[in-house]
Amino acid sequence: MKNPISNDKPRRNFIKKSAMGIGGISIGLPLTSALAADKYTQTKKLGVALVGLGNYATNQLAPALQETAHCYLAGIVTGTKSKEKVWMDKHNIPKKNVYNYDNFEEIANNKDIDIIYVVLPNSMHAEYSIKAAKAGKHVICEKPMAVSVEECEAMIKACKENKVKLSIGYRLHFDPYHKEIIKLSKEGSFGKVTYVSSQFGFTIGDPTQWRLKKALAGGGALMDVGIYCIQAARYAYGEEPIALQAQEFRSGSEKFREVDETVSWQMEFPDGKISNSTTSYAFGTNHLVVTAQKARAVIMPAYSYNGLGGIFNNEKLEFPRINQQALQMDDFAKNVVANTESKISGEEGLKDMKVLEAIYKSLASGGKRVTI
């Protein structure tokens, strides 16, 4: 069956722009070259110190910092002595730029380090983001921003008082597929967005890991990966939810004794619009569907580090290779140099935390509707 809007000019422009790439990046152009082609100029790269050397820092952020054009891996903070030499040798980090949690405050005197990226368990985000701000360093904090609205507000306050920038690790704001979803909402070429559906989950492994301990994680699947679905609904509509209700499902596994396993929730937006989302640690799921009056966009997988795929009105979308984390960190470095605010600021993280708290409140009440 022929697509009913296949001759729609806005749609043709959408596909054409998609084929050309996003944000000035052309098909076939290597990432580093594409970044170098940016009109932005900077006299030197800013130094980034990673705080917490777990899986994400090791396998995503450190490699991404080999591709960045405006910042580089300058230092590390770790509580594991054996990791120090490994990271120093692999990433050419001088001994004077290696810290632990006992001497962390001394980082204030290190001119090599401009930005501190907090990649610790969720319950430690606020503490070390505030310490970084007091040390006079700009802060990137991995998502979720913290484990409560109160902590988020304290982080924002500390950064403002110490005149440093704060950004949250929402890498998907720099992914071309998600940028098209944001564009679809902002431009309105295909009418208003009318419905958003999203799911993100995976089968979690090691039962002893920190993500399954409430004291460290603050919550389970919802806090860890469900937050991506909250983000997607918010930027797909370009509005804030006004109310929600949520349901929790448990298999009875001892693994999920302390944290949520599977959660579904429905958010209400102005003018009667809704979104429907599910997240889980019990099964794999990974997609985003956005329906507008004259268009339907599907991203599947939607929330991975790479390999995303998209369909817009039955036509496949393909974008050039990018590194989400490299673009994210470079964007923040440019914010620091230009003295501008990050589009994924602390205030953005605070908005998500208000939604997370509302979901947990609804769950505690047996699924009652909660206003935000």
pLDDT at 30: 33
Separation between Cα atoms, residue 317 and residue 80, nearest integer Å: 44
Task: Give the pLDDT mean for 135-140.
Answer: 98
Give the pair of three-digit tokens for residue 333.
């470095």
Distances (CA, A) of 73 to 89, 115, 274: 13, 10, 42
Coil, helix or strand at residue 196: strand
Which domains does the chain possess? 31-171 (3.40.50.720), 176-320+346-371 (3.30.360.10)
String of DSSP letters for 180-240: HHHHHHHH-TT--EEEEEEEEE-----TTSGGG-HHHHSSSHIIIIIHHHHHHHHHHHTS-
Q: What is the mean pLDDT of the chain?
A: 91
Give the pair of three-digit tokens for residue 360.
């947990």
Least confident range from 8-12, 299-303, 368-372: namely 8-12
pLDDT tens per residue, range 29-71 = 233 333 333 445 567 899 999 999 999 999 999 999 999 999 9
By annotation, the residues acting in catalysis are: 143, 228
pTM strictly above 0.75: yes
pLDDT tens per residue, range 145-190 = 999 999 999 999 999 999 999 999 999 999 999 999 999 999 999 9
pLDDT at 41: 58
Separation between Cα atoms, residue 6 and residue 2, nearest integer Å: 7
- Residues of the chain with pLDDT > 90, as a percent, come to 88
DSSP lists the bridge partners of residue 317 as: 310
Evaluate the CA torsion angle 229, 230, 231, 237 in order and state its sign.
positive
Separation between Cα atoms, residue 326 and residue 171, nearest integer Å: 9
